[in-house]
């Protein structure tokens, strides 16, 4: 998989992009476990992608839901046993 960030918010710690091989659109957040820092990628639809790209602040509610693990059904890659926590 090749994740290509189109937008990144350093202050709010999330990105919006396209997974190039599948064409899936996503929002990602940084997470950390005891061993490594990595990103979790949550699939979004085209309407949400367009909204978030044009107005990144509108993504903050969704980003918070990702951090709270309330939308895990949208994870593009399922986490391993030692799942990280949002940073």
Q: For residue range 3-24, list pLDDT tens digits in order.
A: 999 999 999 999 999 999 999 9
What's the pTM value of the predicted model, to 2 decimals?
0.94
pLDDT tens readout for residues 29-75: 999 998 899 999 999 999 999 999 999 999 999 999 999 999 999 99
- Residue 84: inside a domain, yes or no? no
pLDDT of 69: 95
pLDDT at 87 over 90: no
Query: Is 85 among the domain residues?
Result: no
The tokens for 11 are: 């202050």
In a domain? residue 82: no
Asked if the structure places residue 29 within a domain, the reply is yes
Number of folded domains in the chain? 1
Check pLDDT > 90 for residue 79. no
Does residue 26 lie in a domain region?
A: yes
Provide the pLDDT for residue 80: 82
- Domain assignment present for 86: no
- Residue pair 17/3 in contact (Cβ under 8 Å)? The answer is yes
Integer Cα distance of 87 and 65 in angstroms = 14
Q: Is residue 53 part of a domain?
A: yes
Q: How far apart are CA 13 and CA 20, in angstroms?
A: 22
């Amino acid at each position: 998989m090749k994740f290509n960030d189109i937008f990144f918010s350093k202050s709010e710690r999330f990105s919006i992009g396209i997974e190039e091989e599948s064409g899936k659109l996503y929002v990602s957040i940084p997470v950390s476990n005891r061993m490594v820092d990595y990103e979790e990628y949550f699939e979004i639809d085209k309407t949400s992608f367009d909204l978030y790209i044009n107005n990144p602040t509108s993504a903050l509610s969704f980003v918070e839901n990702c951090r709270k693990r309330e939308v895990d059904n949208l994870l593009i890659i399922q986490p391993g046993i030692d799942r990280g926590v949002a940073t």
